[in-house]
Amino acid sequence: MTKLSVNINKFATLRNSRGGNNPDVLKAAIDAERFGADGVTVHPRPDERHIRYSDVRAIKKNITTEFNIEGNCREQKFVDLVLETKPHQVTLVPDAEGQLTSDHGWDTVKHRDYLREMIQVFQQAGIRVSIFVDPVIEMVNGAAETGTNRIELYTEAYAREYADHREKAIAPYITAAQRANELMLGINAGHDLDLTNLAYFSQNIPGLLEVSIGHALISDALYLGYENAIQLYKRQLK
Ligand SMILES: CC(=O)[C@@H](O)[C@H](O)COP(=O)(O)O
Ligand SMILES: NCC(=O)COP(=O)(O)O
């Protein structure tokens, strides 16, 4: 069954809007697993506008399920943090400076040698590596050449187009996933997945190991409650 990793960035966004420690980001991580999540994801950004580096250290010491840290490995501070905290998985995302949120995957052909080098650094420390990619065959082929363990399919385009034509929206993801399976790459996915589009995605993507979901799940939790929201998302993955 596909695992649900809850991205708790948005708890930190709310906390930081007032200073202080409300809501408590560490508690949000611990409760995510208490409420049934299979893991916790954070995506610290260089300006620490939501998750802080100190949050990452505290979370690692206090959770028992899978910890996934996402971010830009061109930032030495990020690399050092990951090597220090040793999560189960690091997801490498090619964020540009000042970007509002992640909006593109790696060009795995152009950056093959760089990625290969960085991936080895993390793998030698015992950390599984996933790289964020668009659902494009060349990028999946390129990913296999970097030595990564997994790819994370960037699902923003699928989520955007789902309401109008879901078959067309998911088609490139199915093709990319089939190729990843042939190449023995593990498959994760994330970005803008929500209660309306998740079940169809998970039912149609062969070998989907994990989804990381933050923005929509935390937004739903405001109305439905955190535990209930996590349970509802889990149910979409059955
Ligand atoms: C890689 C990805 O799609 C998510 O990690 C997303 O970028 C979350 O980051 P923000 O919470 O900063 O939008
Ligand atoms: N990797 C995707 C992620 O962690 C969450 O993305 P979103 O659900 O906040 O869009």
pLDDT, residue 99, reads 86
| Cβ–Cβ under 8 Å, residues 44 and 18 | no
In whole angstroms, give the CA distance from residue 16 to residue 78.
20
pLDDT in tens, 162-179: 999 999 999 999 999 999
For range 222-235, the mean pLDDT: 98
Side chain identity at residue 132, one-letter code? F
Q: Which of 66, 111, 191, 210 is an active site residue?
A: 191
pLDDT, residue 56, reads 98
Residue 85 scores a pLDDT above 80:
yes
Residue 51 scores a pLDDT above 90:
yes
pLDDT, residue 61, reads 97
Please name the residue whose Cα sits nearest to atom 6 of ligand 1.
Answer: 102
Please name the residue whose Cα sits nearest to atom 7 of ligand 1.
Answer: 102
CATH code of residue 104: 3.20.20.70
Say what percent of the chain tops pLDDT 90: 97
Structure tokens belonging to residue 24: 């408590």
Q: Which of 43, 111, 152, 210 is an active site residue?
A: 43
Confidence of residue 43 (pLDDT cuts 50, 70, 90): very high
Least Cα distance to 67 among 100, 105, 11, 29 occurs for 29
CA-based angle 166:171:177, to the nearest 5?
125
pLDDT, residue 97, reads 80
CA-based angle 192:103:218, to the nearest 5?
30
Calculate how far, in angstroms, residue 117's C-alpha sits from the geometric centre of ligand 1. 24
pLDDT in tens, 86-130: 999 999 999 888 889 999 999 999 999 999 999 999 999 999 999
Domain tally for the chain?
A: 1
Q: How many other C-beta atoms are found inside a 10 Å radius of the C-beta of residue 124?
A: 9
Calculate how far, in angstroms, residue 184's C-alpha sits from the geometric centre of ligand 1. 26
Calculate how far, in angstroms, residue 31's C-alpha sits from the geometric centre of ligand 2. 18
Confidence of residue 35 (pLDDT cuts 50, 70, 90): very high
Name the residue range of residue 138's domain.
Answer: 3-236
